[in-house]
Structure 1
Amino acid sequence: MKIAILGSGVIGVTSAWYLAQAGHEVVVVDRQSGPALETSFANAGEISPGYASPWAAPGIPMKAVRWLMMRHAPLILRPHADMAMLRWLTAMLGNCNARDYAINKSRMVRLAEFSRDRLIELRTGTGISYDERSQGTLQLFREQKQLDGVGKDIAVLKADGVPFEVLDPAGCVAAEPGLAHSEVPLAGGLRLPHDETGDCFKFTNALARMAAAQGVRFLNDTAVTRLAVDGGRIAHVEIAHPETGAGNLVADAYLVAMGSYSPQLVAPLGIRLPVYPVKGYSITVPIVDEARAPVSTLLDESYKVAITRLGDRIRVGGMAEISGFTKDLPPARRATLEHSAGSLFPGAGDMSAASFWCGLRPMTPDSTPVIGATRVPNLFLNTGHGTLGWTMACGSAHVIADIIAGRTPAIETADLAISRYRNAA
């Protein structure tokens, strides 16, 4: 079967890999000059199944008000006349209750743990390298009240069978020796020893090269302009290249993996895909003092910032800005990232040489990605992973490869499809 994948971020490329491994003819189309040049380019670098939790949770509306007022705010809202934003916010707030939180988290954990196992399997089987480390994730609490409130998180981890350690300040320093130089007091931490780190951009490009060696074709610098329907099915996808011009790409099946831009492509087909861009920021800092640098990933609970070791660099990423498709880089956002990393790991990196980046995370109102078939028989979706695209990539790709081929996936997937929104309505 010939399959056209629209989008070459980490989701599109991993999907291409597993589909090619299953014997399909695969072509990947993307408007960029190569893989992983948008949201997958400079994300926080953490692979954290243990922290696969919905943003929509009980108490979040009240916390959001407080976050919006902070100097180094983890949440930024820049409202404008945008009905899609309003619908998404309303639906997200509708999920901020205990019942929906439990349902959504169970879906996310199921997929995230399956994905972790597939990534380990892929790494073992291919030897792929991407500045990976398997030294766990430390959620750091600067204040005692944060540590005191960790009980409900521990209950969830126990229920899901996720190994964890509750650490005092000395335990935090033992896990992350660079914290011995912290400029702020440490109250304690919650460590998940089985989480990993890695450079998503390096992984995606390495896997794309491996996929190309297996016969996958990559059409770079090629915009996807329209899905053409005939007889209730996708007949072809209209594409455009700056040099060769417009044309049609014909396949047996089509997979939309275009992140935040997926809803715009499927909307003319009458498919309302509730994915909205939530902007995140990162800085990538060259290490100048190994002894002061992190060894894995640290989550700064106060500012919702992840600080990750990637080879000879430190990736500092976080914040959630709801501002549509804006790509500006306000200095205040960089200041927050520098403040978080600089106060915990002072002198570890050269902040003046850091690169500053932003990406549009494709978020659903329930934080669960949309993976599966649509009402158009040969059109499929693999999108909406939010902040967990890197964590869930291999599992999502494995699942959609099975669905497209008509095989039963290894995990339950019915509640990952877009039909769950119709059922909820």
Structure 2
Amino acid sequence: MKVLVLGSGVVGVTSAYYLARQGHEVTVVDRQPSPAMETSYGNAGQVSFGFSSPWAAPGIPQKAVKWMFQEHAPLKIQPRLDPVMGRFMMQMLGNCNPESYAVNKERMVRVAEYSRACINALRDDTGIRYEDRQRGLLQLFRNEQQVEAVAKDMKVLEQCNVRHRLLNAEEITAVEPALSRVPGKFVAGLHLPDDQTGDCFLFTNRLADYCREQLGVTFLFNTSIERITRVSGRIENVVTSAGALTADAYVMALGSYSPFLARDLDIRLPIYPVKGYSLTLPVIDDGGAPQSTVMDETFKVAISRFDNRIRVGGTAELASYNLSLAEKRRATISMVVRDVFPEGGDLEKAEFWTGLRPMTPDSTPIIGATKYDNLWLNTGHGTLGWTMSCGSGQLLADLIAGRDPQISADGLSVARYAA
């Protein structure tokens, strides 16, 4: 089968990898000059299977009101007359209840845990390296209220057989020794030993090279996607700046930009861009730097270790498709890394970056079929695109081939929004 994948971010490239492994003739098209040049470029560096939780949760509306008046809040909303933003926020609020949270959490963990097995197998099969570490993730709590709140998540982790352990203030330094240099800041930590870290940009590019050289995947870069042509319930072709491209099946993996093409096909994707920021700074003291990933629960900022760099990612900003770099957001993530690992990296030499996370109101990705029998979706992964990419890609490839997938696809397709 000839398959055309739209998008060369981490989700698009992993989709191409799993499709090509099944023997399909795969072409990937993207407007950028190379893979992972947008949202996959500078993410937080965490592959956090066990940390997969919906943003829409009980208590979030009240927290959001408080965050509006905090200088270093994890969520910022830029007021604007934007009906799309308004609709997204109302749908998200509709998921901020215990019942919806439980359903959405199960779906996310289902994909994420499957993705853990898939990325481990991919690494063994391809041999690619991407400054990766398999040393887990440590979620840090600054007060007892946060420790009490995480009890609900721990119950879901237990139900899904995700290894985890709640550590006291002394035990967290055994996992991250540099935390001993900032005593008294954290009262506890939730350790997820099977989570991983690495550079998503390196991962995506090296996997793309493998796809091209070993699996025969074709990549068409510097190619803008203009529109999709449909005829009698099927996609006929994709019109691009390089001409019309035809295939037997089409995969839309365009992240935050998926709704624009889908809208012309009368498919409403409730995906909204949630702007995130990161800093990448050189390590200057190995003993004062993280050894894996820590997540500061108070500020929702992740700090990850690469070989000789530290990646700090966080904040969520609703600002439509604005990609300007806001110095106030830089100040927040700079403050957190300075507070947690004050001696680890050189902030004066940090690279500042921003990207648009494709968020759904229930935080669950959209994977599966559409009303067009040859159009498939793999998008809407929010902050967990890399975490879920391999599981999503394998699941989608199986669905397209008509194979029984290894996990249930229930509740993952766009059909869940039909009501």
TM over 0.5: yes
Say whether the 8 Å CA contact 2:271–2:359 is kept in structure 1: yes
Deviations, residues 346-391 of structure 1 (Å, cap 9, x unaligned): 1210001000001100011111100011001111100000011010
Q: Distance in 2 between matches of 1:151 and 1:403?
A: 35
| Paired amino acid for 2:86 | L
**What is the deviation of 1:150?**
3.0
**Residues 187-243 of structure 1, C-alpha deviations (whole Å, 9 max, x = no match):** 121111111111111000000000001210100010101001122211110001xxx
Contact 1:298 1:307 in 2 (8 A): yes
Alpha-carbon deviations, 1:70-93, whole Å to 9, x = none? 111100000212111111111110
Preserved contact between residue 68 and residue 74 of structure 1 (Cα < 8 Å) = no
Q: CA deviation at 1:61?
A: 0.5
Q: 270, 279, 284: which one pairs with 1:283? A: 279
Cα distance change, pair 231–146 in 1 and its aligned pair in 2 (3 A): closer
Cα separation, 2, equivalents of 1:142 and 1:370: 34
Counterpart mapping for 1:125-274 below 5 A:
125-182=125-182, 185-213=185-213, 214-240=215-241, 246-274=242-270
TM-aligned CA deviation for residue 163 of structure 1 = 1.5
SS at match of 1:341: helix
Q: Percent identity?
A: 54
Q: How does 1:396-411 map to 2 (within 5 A)?
A: 396-411=392-407
1:363 to 359, 363, 373: 359
Distance 1:112 1:9 in 2: 18
- What are the ranges of 5 or more consecutive residues in structure 1 without an aligned counterpart? 241-245
Q: Which residue of 1 aligns with 2:46?
A: 46
8 Å contact from structure 1 (residues 184, 344) kept in 2: no
Gap regions ≥5 residues in structure 2: none
Distance 1:385 1:22, change over 3 A: same
Cα separation, 2, equivalents of 1:97 and 1:185: 31
State whether residues 233 and 371 of structure 2, in contact with CA within 8 Å, keep that contact through their aligned partners in structure 1.
no
Query: Mean alpha-carbon deviation: is it higher for 55-64 or for 161-170?
Result: 161-170
Following superposition, the deviation at residue 167 of structure 1 comes to: 1.3
SS of the residue aligned with 2:139? strand
Helix, strand or coil at the partner of 2:68: helix
User: Secondary structure of 1:69's partner?
Assistant: coil
CA–CA distance in structure 1, aligned partners of residues 187 and 235 of structure 2: 56
Other-structure match for 1:31: 31
SS of equivalent to 1:207: helix
Q: CA deviation at 1:184?
A: 5.8
AA aligned to 1:13 is V
Deviations 1:240-291 (A, max 9, x none): 1xxxxx4111111110000000000110111101111000100001001111
TM alignment of 1:6-155, pairs within 5 A: 6-155=6-155
Residue 183 of structure 1 deviates from its aligned partner by 7.0
- Structure 1 range deviating more: 279-288 or 147-156: 147-156
In structure 2, the residue corresponding to 1:291 is in which secondary structure?
helix
For 2:289, give the aligned amino acid: A
Alignment partners' CA distance in 1, 2:22 and 2:147 = 47
Q: Is the 8 A contact 1:280 1:321 kept in 2?
A: yes
Alignment check: 8 A CA contact 1:179 1:345 kept? yes
Residue 147 of structure 1: CA displacement?
Answer: 2.6
Counterpart contact for 2:126–2:210, Cα < 8 Å: no
C-alpha distance in 1 between matches for 2:106 and 2:29: 33
Amino acid at match of 2:240: I
Conserved? CA contact 2:198–2:306, under 8 Å: yes
Q: 1:303 to 1:184 in 2, by over 3 A?
A: farther
Tell me, in whole angstroms, the C-alpha distance in 2 between the residues paired with 1:184 and 1:44.
25
Partner-residue secondary structure (3-state), 1:284: strand
Which residue does 1:243 correspond to in 2?
none
Q: Give the Cα separation in 2 of the matches to 1:13 and 1:338.
A: 31
2:28 counterpart SS class = strand
Q: CA RMSD in A?
A: 1.1
Q: Distance in 1 between the 2:66 and 2:184 partners?
A: 22
- Distance (Å, rounded) in 2 between the aligned partners of 1:69 and 1:343: 21
User: For residues 383 and 67 of structure 2, what CA distance do their matches in structure 1 show?
Assistant: 18
